[in-house]
Amino acid sequence: MLKGIAASTLALGAGNAFAVEETGMVITRAVPKSGLALPVIGLGTWQVLENPDRASGEDPGEVLRLLAQVSGSVVDTSPMYGRAEEILGRLVAELGLRPSLFLATKVWTEGERAGIAEMQRSFDLIGVETMDLIEVHNLLDWRVHLNTLRAWRDQGRVRHIGVTHYHSGAFDQLEAVLKQEPLDFVQFNYSLVEREAEARLLPLAAERGVAVIVNRPFVQGRMFGKVKGKPLPEWAAEFDCQSWAQFFLKFILGHPAVTCAIPATAKPRHLADNLGAGRGRLPDAQMRARMATFFEAM
């Protein structure tokens, strides 16, 4: 199921105009278990909401307002990310963005009581009564926390539940959890240089009807070093690609099992570029193979 949401032009802050070009529709994909349509590009908050540096063009308030123009976009955070939940909650409240965003956080502790306390603190810091998604961060004490989260989902405190990891070394365990638990979401790393998820996790998520959030789409920015100063291949235009960031993201989004990718940034111009990956054509399987071969040979 694909739908489109139009982007709009936005001026952010007096004397600091930042235009979002009207370049077409942002693709959305449905969460299989709920049918909710999510834009395929969201926002990660790891490291970007702790000490944003506005002098260098980093302003998470502007980034969030820009993201909110694509209604329903995922903002992913965690109690593991320093003050990210606190800063996110303050900005969402100050800017009145709660209705426009899909807010996702995690639980990252051991024990039922500690998990409940940590999740309640996340509700308080982010300033919501209902969370769109809570995932068990890096599978820590996942059985205990999923038991709590299933009850909370039934009560309406949380709309979706899931599990996460960021390293392929945990993929066997992720696979086992996916096979035995009725999850709404799974989150893991996947990119042009971390393709292990293609073997079993992505097909399994599709088979089980579990939405996939992709983290580390740029491998913490390291992929850009390989392409610095190098032009895009001419054939990138065949899938409406205008930058290396879009090249990397469109490769991910071209896989039909992927629901959303969450590159982290506090720079509005980078977010605008990332959102461009969710517009226009996406590469098919043959083109994705060509992209992988091209990147590996660079």
What pLDDT is stored for residue 89 in this prediction?
96
- The 10s digit of each residue's pLDDT in 211-239 is 999 999 999 889 999 999 999 999 999 99
- The 10s digit of each residue's pLDDT in 70-101 is 999 999 999 999 899 999 999 999 999 999 99
Beta-carbon count within 10 A of 152 CB: 18
Q: Are 78 and 108 in contact (CB under 8 A)?
A: yes
Q: Where are the alpha helices (DSSP H) in 39-102?
A: 60-68, 84-95
- The 10s digit of each residue's pLDDT in 279-289 is 999 999 999 99
Q: What is the pTM of this model?
A: 0.91
26 CB burial (10 A radius; 0-12, 13-18, 19+): buried
Bridge partners of residue 19, in order along the sequence: none
Give the span between the Cα atoms of 189 and 288, in whole angstroms.
17
First to last CA, the chain: 35
CATH of the domain at 150: 3.20.20.100
Question: Would the pLDDT of 8 be above 50?
Answer: no
Number of domains in the chain: 1
Q: Are 174 and 139 in contact (CB under 8 A)?
A: yes
- The 10s digit of each residue's pLDDT in 22-56 is 446 889 999 999 999 999 999 999 877 766 665 55
Question: Would the pLDDT of 162 be above 80?
Answer: yes
Q: Which of 30, 35, 103 lies closest to 259, judged by CA?
A: 30
What pLDDT is stored for residue 54 in this prediction?
55
What pLDDT is stored for residue 221 in this prediction?
83
Domain extent for 278? 2-297
What pLDDT is stored for residue 52 in this prediction?
60
Q: Are 151 and 161 in contact (CB under 8 A)?
A: no
